[in-house]
Chains A and B, each alone.
Chain A
């Protein structure tokens, strides 16, 4: 006889409060619901405030990606004031955003994700002792190194922006800092030191060697090629993931979205992949077919979120959101809204960046096995290999170039703007409308809003929910499969539950 049972799995080791509810039938997940269980009404604070105030308040949305929010807020205001940035301002904004991405990737990978391999569920696996030695919280070898290296690289943001987290050094027209040649030399030195750790411990090879890995066959060959590869943290991830079967779980919805980011300065030796003069192109991929991206096709649906939904799904410039704590009986179950692109749910994050950027390795891996936990987390582990050389290049270009870091602009009373970019966890957008030099409307859509979104009006599940359905759970008291799947999305709920906009 089939038995359906509902289980609640509140999740820690993610940023903020996430609760996963699943319906299980003979140890297989037949239905799932992902819920943000906190509400902070963040954008409400911005209504009626001065146009620049978002630069101070929105970084406070998130303690691990505040520079990303700052940049999105500044970009929205660049558009509003219609100001063109000096090359050095573009470089400094890019360098600091990339620094934030790098710290996030490793803190997530080694302090939040890999920790699951030390779960008692794996006690009898061959990798268990090694996992404990490397990733046990606060004492594991890699954990201790990650604490040391990630805070060190963040010094770059402090040198250029004053502090991390929560600075406001980006303003419409550029950045406020005027770094000296010595400041930039320190940044480059920090970068080079980080590269040493990344190459020797995380990759086990040079970045240049890693760049030659362009297919699944290359990846297998790379792992077997040298002891330093097999014994690096990437090597251990490949071995653990294989034994734990991470390729078999967490498929998701198959749609990917990337807002693109890292606008290229006019004069630079850095080459871009796409046609939109961004180092990371924007785009949407549906079953590996790329489509051009148009921000007007974004809507937010609140049919299953605790907000008034009487007006249907809206574009963020038109969206209207009023909290409506109806309890669970109405079908509403989350404080996170449901962003959709052209009415479809889409996954975002490092893997989406790779897919939309047509990275051959990741396209090949998805062709062979579809999206899964393994490939999603792999993208996060190796993304820095693509960022580090570009950061070094831009730091050197900034040091050589003596031009300005800020362009002044005229006062303006009314208009609108948006700022889109790829934050550590994926597509982040800020939309602002200004009237009488005051904020009339402010809307933020975070990466986790895409990934951990609830259902929409058509009943389509969000990507995390979709990734869980069909999963076999071996031990319902210790659902390690769900832990892996959810953490592979690196959810940040503190961000997401703030994505509320209230019309004045």
Chain B
């Protein structure tokens, strides 16, 4: 029996769909065929018309058609005033369709930060929310207690966009009956059990606290330029983007796009700090020891790094 997958786009930019198309091996076409996945609906790809979609929806909602994996991209828009009228499908609030489909699905994937935590638009006039979280707070659109037919909560795959390997890997796990271990935000540990910092080619600069204050240099961006790499969970510097690089590797600070509070309320491109030490330090670290360590590390920094004579 093919695995039936239904993809719905809500309050989002479509970036998770196009990020998915970056997947290399398997690419999207290979993934769907090798795991025998039947795409019931995807708004950008399907040949079916919106009128066919009504039939597909009727069949899924009546139970005549199975729904194995429900992929939700974008946040759920509840505005204005809880009506959901800011995002409609077939003349009705799209949030109502999502609620009905959710009851029929064996697995639900919240693809991207908007679907997971509300993301862009959370706590604004459009009243955006994630499926089971609104930023860090449990609940969201479906409620804290919600479980899919398979007994799982919504699996959150945050990132702006969601990395294609994370999505492909999650679909592959479901297709092969592997149960993914989830952490406190219902994100799979496989990809969110590491920091963005891990694997960054600027790590040596970080180690010896060789810091950057302006763009276009090769040093560490954590201390002044607002990089969130050591603070945020994600596989960016392990799996890389487009099979090539990552933001931090080319000199763009990590903006913490996998975090429930993305986008942050304070300015990007600058680190909030006290006397040169960031206010926010890596999880579980002792501030006094960290300051002593970084002071000594800076004093020990090799000339090679201080003069930026490195290949990265």
Which residues does A use to contact B, with CB under 8 Å?
Answer: 8-13, 15-17, 37-42, 44-45, 49-50, 52-53, 55-57, 60-64, 66, 107, 111-112, 115, 118-119, 136-139, 143-144, 147-148, 150-151, 154-155, 157-169, 171, 173-180, 323, 325, 335, 404-406, 408, 477-478, 494-495
Closest to B120 in A: A60
Q: Does B148 contact A (CB under 8 A)?
A: no
Listed stretches B96-104, B184-192, B214-222; interface member: B214-222
**Bound Cα distance from A168 to B269, whole angstroms:** 10
Task: Pick the residue among B16, B24, B45, B88 that contacts A111 (CB under 8 A).
Answer: B45
Closest to B254 in A: A162
**A53 and B267 contacting across the interface, CB-CB below 8 Å:** yes
Given A15-B44, A138-B45, A176-B252, does the pair A406, B15 have CB atoms closer than 8 Å? Answer: no
Excluding A166-B15, A169-B250, 18 further A-B contacts by CB distance (< 8 Å) are: A13-B46, A39-B87, A53-B268, A60-B13, A60-B15, A111-B45, A115-B47, A147-B27, A150-B21, A155-B244, A162-B248, A163-B245, A168-B247, A168-B255, A176-B251, A177-B251, A178-B218, A325-B80
**A169 and B46 contacting across the interface, CB-CB below 8 Å:** no
Listed stretches B121-129, B167-175, B299-307; interface member: B121-129
Given A38-B88, A118-B47, A325-B85, does the pair A16, B22 have CB atoms closer than 8 Å? Answer: no
A88 to chain B, nearest CB (A): 10
**B120 and A63 contacting across the interface, CB-CB below 8 Å:** no
Task: Pick the residue among A42, A148, A478 that contacts B27 (CB under 8 A).
Answer: A148
**B27 and A163 contacting across the interface, CB-CB below 8 Å:** no
Q: Does B64 contact A (CB under 8 A)?
A: no
**Bound Cα distance from A459 to B257, whole angstroms:** 43
Given A44-B125, A155-B242, A167-B252, does the pair A63, B263 have CB atoms closer than 8 Å? Answer: no
**Bound Cα distance from A408 to B236, whole angstroms:** 28
**Bound Cα distance from A406 to B250, whole angstroms:** 13
Q: Does B289 contact A (CB under 8 A)?
A: no
**B269 and A52 contacting across the interface, CB-CB below 8 Å:** yes
* Nearest 7 interchain pairs by C-beta: A63-B15, A406-B216, A163-B241, A50-B267, A158-B242, A162-B247, A63-B14
CB neighbours of B3 from chain A (8 A): none
**A17 and B29 contacting across the interface, CB-CB below 8 Å:** no
A-B contact pairs, 17 of them (CB 8 A): A12-B44, A16-B14, A17-B87, A38-B11, A38-B87, A41-B121, A41-B125, A50-B270, A60-B13, A60-B120, A63-B12, A64-B14, A151-B27, A160-B250, A174-B216, A175-B216, A180-B311
Task: Pick the residue among A8, A50, A168 that contacts B252 (CB under 8 A).
Answer: A168
Given A405-B216, A406-B216, does the pair A162, B249 have CB atoms closer than 8 Å? Answer: yes
Closest to B16 in A: A63
Q: Does B109 contact A (CB under 8 A)?
A: no
Q: Does B246 contact A (CB under 8 A)?
A: yes
Closest to B41 in A: A12
**B39 and A406 contacting across the interface, CB-CB below 8 Å:** no
Q: Does B17 contact A (CB under 8 A)?
A: yes
Q: Does B160 contact A (CB under 8 A)?
A: yes
CB neighbours of A162 from chain B (8 A): 241, 245-252
CB neighbours of B231 from chain A (8 A): none
**Bound Cα distance from A40 to B74, whole angstroms:** 11
**Bound Cα distance from A143 to B22, whole angstroms:** 14
CB neighbours of B125 from chain A (8 A): 41, 44, 323
B225 to chain A, nearest CB (A): 9
Within 8 A of A (CB), among B29-88: 29, 32, 39, 43-51, 53, 77, 80, 85-88
Closest to A182 in B: B311
Given A40-B120, A164-B22, A164-B241, does the pair A408, B47 have CB atoms closer than 8 Å? Answer: no
0/1 interface trace, chain B 225-244, chain A, CB 8 Å (1 if under): 00000000000100011111
CB neighbours of B217 from chain A (8 A): 178
Given A13-B44, A112-B44, does the pair A169, B17 have CB atoms closer than 8 Å? Answer: no
**Bound Cα distance from A162 to B267, whole angstroms:** 21
Task: Pick the residue among A39, A56, A405, A406 that contacts B86 (CB under 8 A).
Answer: A39
Q: Does B309 contact A (CB under 8 A)?
A: no
Given A56-B255, A136-B47, does the pair A494, B12 have CB atoms closer than 8 Å? Answer: yes
CB neighbours of B27 from chain A (8 A): 147-148, 151
**Bound Cα distance from A137 to B42, whole angstroms:** 11
Given A17-B87, A158-B244, A177-B251, does the pair A165, B120 have CB atoms closer than 8 Å? Answer: no
**Bound Cα distance from A15 to B252, whole angstroms:** 27
Given A41-B125, A53-B268, does the pair A408, B251 have CB atoms closer than 8 Å? Answer: no
**A49 and B249 contacting across the interface, CB-CB below 8 Å:** no
**B86 and A38 contacting across the interface, CB-CB below 8 Å:** yes
**Bound Cα distance from A311 to B79, whole angstroms:** 25
CB neighbours of A12 from chain B (8 A): 43-44, 46, 48-50, 53
**A166 and B45 contacting across the interface, CB-CB below 8 Å:** no
Q: Does B291 contact A (CB under 8 A)?
A: no
**B29 and A139 contacting across the interface, CB-CB below 8 Å:** yes
A225 to chain B, nearest CB (A): 33
Q: Does B140 contact A (CB under 8 A)?
A: no
B25 to chain A, nearest CB (A): 11
**Bound Cα distance from A173 to B214, whole angstroms:** 11
0/1 interface trace, chain B 196-227, chain A, CB 8 Å (1 if under): 00000000000000000011111000000000
Task: Pick the residue among A11, A161, A173 that contacts B215 (CB under 8 A).
Answer: A173
**B244 and A159 contacting across the interface, CB-CB below 8 Å:** yes
Closest to A437 in B: B267
Q: Does B293 contact A (CB under 8 A)?
A: no
Closest to A180 in B: B311
CB neighbours of B18 from chain A (8 A): 63-64, 107, 165
Q: Does B19 contact A (CB under 8 A)?
A: yes
**B252 and A151 contacting across the interface, CB-CB below 8 Å:** no
Q: Does B153 contact A (CB under 8 A)?
A: no
CB neighbours of A175 from chain B (8 A): 216
Q: Does B90 contact A (CB under 8 A)?
A: yes
**A137 and B251 contacting across the interface, CB-CB below 8 Å:** no
**Bound Cα distance from A265 to B243, whole angstroms:** 30
A84 to chain B, nearest CB (A): 15
B164 to chain A, nearest CB (A): 9
**B14 and A15 contacting across the interface, CB-CB below 8 Å:** yes
CB neighbours of A148 from chain B (8 A): 27
B277 to chain A, nearest CB (A): 21
CB neighbours of A115 from chain B (8 A): 47
**A154 and B248 contacting across the interface, CB-CB below 8 Å:** no
Interface centre among B19, B22, B216, B247 (most CB of A within 10 A): B216
**A13 and B43 contacting across the interface, CB-CB below 8 Å:** yes
